[in-house]
Amino acid sequence: MTDSSTNMRLKLPITCFILEIILIILFGVLVEYDEDTDAKKFNKHFNTSMEHSDAENDFYYRYPSFQDVHVMIFIGFGFLMTFLQRYGFSSVGFNFLIAAFSLQWATLMQGFFHGMHGGKIHIGVESMINADFCTGSVLISFGAVLGKTSPVQLMIMAMFEVTLFSVNEFILLSILGTRDAGGSMTIHTFGAYFGLMVTRILYRPNLHKSKHRNGSVYHSDLFAMIGTIYLWMFWPSFNSAVTEHGDAQHRTAMNTYYSLAACTLSSYAMSSLTAHDGKLDMVHIQNAALAGGVAVGTAGEMMLTPFGSMIVGFLAGIISVLGFKYLSPILEEKLKIQDTCGVHNLHGMPGILGAIVGAVTASLATKEVYGNGLGRVFPDVADGREASYQGGIQAVSLAVTLGIALIGGLIVGFILKLPVFGAPHDTTCYEDSLYWEVPGEEAGHEEQLTAVKSEESDKLNS
């Protein structure tokens, strides 16, 4: 069913080889180990009175969290998108491809902005975590365009998005002094609205020609639940991975833990309540039950309290289910936003909620509440910045994030519309066999799809 316009025989190899060769050269010129990774630097006091323990290496503090985040990126996000009945190979496989590229490019881009030391980018386990965070934002955008884009389009989108993500992150964290430990703004809001704008520009008026494949079957929804469970289990690590050691990291994990639990109950309740027969919708459970992790991301390290975290998660579940049930059809019909995975409901709206909660919580930060820990959570407030001003900065950061995401997505969307990237036809979206060798297919299936595509293309062009 592959024709010259969608054939990846040269397009994908050229893209992958060129991008990887460029990455290797840039790593060779710019990247070196940090002090906790370099043999000479870490052991410079070996056999002296100043010798320190190997246990002091940041690896032992950060690597468990890194592994949890890594599982989320490659298994959680990958399997969460396998709900489409004939797009499982692409959901997991393209997730694997763009994640592997993005984490390398993110290491460089994040290093350019806040990891340069003497003209070199120093990398260690924390930079690996941050690169995975950036990759997570790309995968959120991937969910919005799932099934309607070629692997080459996805690679190009990832290249631009990683760059813009790093710019936004630098503005928020380094220039404005924003606190966003779990990435409600920098990861989820940015990734969601960037992807929504891209899919708006790539709008397909005849996508209904592939509607019969834009849905799930029993086993595909079961596979998607695997992704949900992995994400749900590891989200406390995701939000706390790069926070300050000690109480801040402990508090972030705990706040996320209770927010997710409360969110799950409200998601089940709303899913049943919004159905005329009271039956649960697996789409709601797969996605909305995770919204609590998104919504508590910004305020997770703050003194939100378990009580406050549960309120945030409870509201996030309600908002997310209502979004899937009522808002998604409106976005597609009125605004022409074809959001395959519903990233607006899982990442967009809960991300905005998280940013608002973070702004309010930051504006209430006092020495009486945080004690000597104020400087670890809000270093600028400890240095004299008013808590109310910090809250305003948090709110401004949300606006900056939305602006960069929407404008960036607009530009990248127009770039991806170029015909050279091998996008699928409107009649062959959500179909693995367009880009993959699919074992076990009936002999006539591909011929049938080819005939359908040819017939429908003739109709569209007439």
Task: Kindly list the averaged pLDDT for each block of 10 residues, start to end, along the chain of length 462.
Answer: 78 97 97 93 74 84 96 97 96 98 98 89 96 98 97 98 98 96 97 98 94 92 96 98 94 98 98 96 97 98 97 98 97 96 97 98 96 94 95 98 98 95 94 92 51 51 48
Contact 74, 99 (CB under 8 A): yes
Contact 285, 268 (CB under 8 A): yes
The pLDDT value recorded for residue 29 is 96
As a whole number of angstroms, the distance between CA 130 and CA 380 comes to: 22
The pLDDT value recorded for residue 4 is 73
The pLDDT value recorded for residue 47 is 67
In a domain, 386, yes or no: yes
127: amino acid identity, one letter: S
Q: Which residue has the tokens 């059809």?
A: 329
In a domain, 451, yes or no: no
As a whole number of angstroms, the distance between CA 137 and CA 158 comes to: 9
Question: What CATH code is carried by the domain that includes residue 84?
Answer: 1.10.3430.10
Among residues 230, 232, 293, 239, which one has the least CA distance to residue 78? 230
- For the chain, the straight-line distance linking the first and the last C-alpha, in angstroms and rounded, comes to 21
The pLDDT value recorded for residue 449 is 54
As a whole number of angstroms, the distance between CA 401 and CA 395 comes to: 10
In a domain, 51, yes or no: no
As a whole number of angstroms, the distance between CA 241 and CA 63 comes to: 9
What's the order of all strands across the beta sheet hosting 116-117? 31-33, 120-123, 116-117
C-alpha distances (whole Å) from 274 to each of 268, 269, 318 are: 10, 9, 11
Residue 70 is inside which H or E element, if any? helix 58-71
As a whole number of angstroms, the distance between CA 372 and CA 118 comes to: 33
* Angle, alpha carbons 95-131-180 (nearest 5°): 110
In a domain, 66, yes or no: yes
In a domain, 45, yes or no: no
In a domain, 3, yes or no: no
In a domain, 461, yes or no: no
Number of domains in the chain: 1
C-alpha distances (whole Å) from 185 to each of 29, 83, 175, 196, 390 are: 32, 26, 15, 15, 15
As a whole number of angstroms, the distance between CA 16 and CA 337 comes to: 29
Helices (H) and strands (E) in the chain, counts: 21, 3
Among residues 406, 363, 411, which one has the least CA distance to residue 388? 363
The pLDDT value recorded for residue 446 is 52
Q: Which tokens go with 295? A: 């919504």
Contact 172, 158 (CB under 8 A): no
Structural domain boundaries enclosing 357: 11-38+58-439
The angle that helices 387-416 and 190-201 make with each other, rounded to 10 degrees, is: 30
The pLDDT value recorded for residue 462 is 47
In a domain, 50, yes or no: no
* Dihedral, CA of residue 134, residue 139, residue 142 and residue 144, to nearest 10: -100
C-alpha distances (whole Å) from 174 to each of 113, 179, 234, 394 are: 9, 10, 27, 13
Among residues 404, 370, 411, which one has the least CA distance to residue 387? 370
Q: Which tokens go with 90? A: 């692409």
Predicted TM-score (pTM) of the model is 0.93
Among residues 270, 299, 78, which one has the least CA distance to residue 184? 299
